[in-house]
Amino acid sequence: MRLIFERVFTSSGDDVDYSEFMCIWADYISDDVQSSFECIDKVTVELNDKCVKDLKIGKACGPDDLGAEHLLYAHPALIVHLQNLFKLILCHRFVPNSFGVGVTIPLVKDKTGNIGQIKRPNK
């Protein structure tokens, strides 16, 4: 398996920066290990279940086309998988980039005016 990854991996030339980053990251993790484990232990199935049940339904889906209804009406085993996901995120201190992706769609509120005309605030 390693040979497959070595063949497809191409270095960006930032090996020094990456090594420095990994050293800083390792120091940061080793400084406060105990509080990390305390935080990880607080992520429970019950907490995830409560959070999913508190989601507002009828809202637009995100870029992944998943809405609150998908989580709310999914099999209960999904809550366990979410717990594992969130614990791994806390344990490794890494959040996937896709968690920060969002779409903003401007909505027209004044339907009586000219939609093509931009209203600027008075100074």
Residue 6's identity, in one-letter code, is E
**What is the per-residue pLDDT for 85?**
94
Q: Is residue 80 part of a domain?
A: yes
pLDDT band for 122, please (50, 70, 90 cuts).
low
Rounded-to-integer distance, Cα 20 and Cα 7, Å: 25
Q: Is residue 41 part of a domain?
A: yes
Rounded-to-integer distance, Cα 100 and Cα 7, Å: 30
**How many independent structural domains does the chain possess?**
1
Q: Is residue 9 part of a domain?
A: no
Q: Is residue 121 part of a domain?
A: no
- Asked if 83 and 44 count as a contact pair (C-beta separation under 8 A), the reply is yes
**What is the per-residue pLDDT for 50?**
94
- Asked if 64 and 98 count as a contact pair (C-beta separation under 8 A), the reply is yes
Q: Is residue 2 part of a domain?
A: no
SS3 assignment for 32-95:
CHHHHHHHHHCCCHHHHHHHHHCCCCCCCCCCCCCCHHHHHCCCCHHHHHHHHHHHHHHHHCCC
Enclosing domain of residue 87 = 33-94
Q: Per residue in 41-99, pLDDT tens? A: 888 999 999 999 999 999 888 888 899 999 999 999 999 999 999 999 888 878 888 88
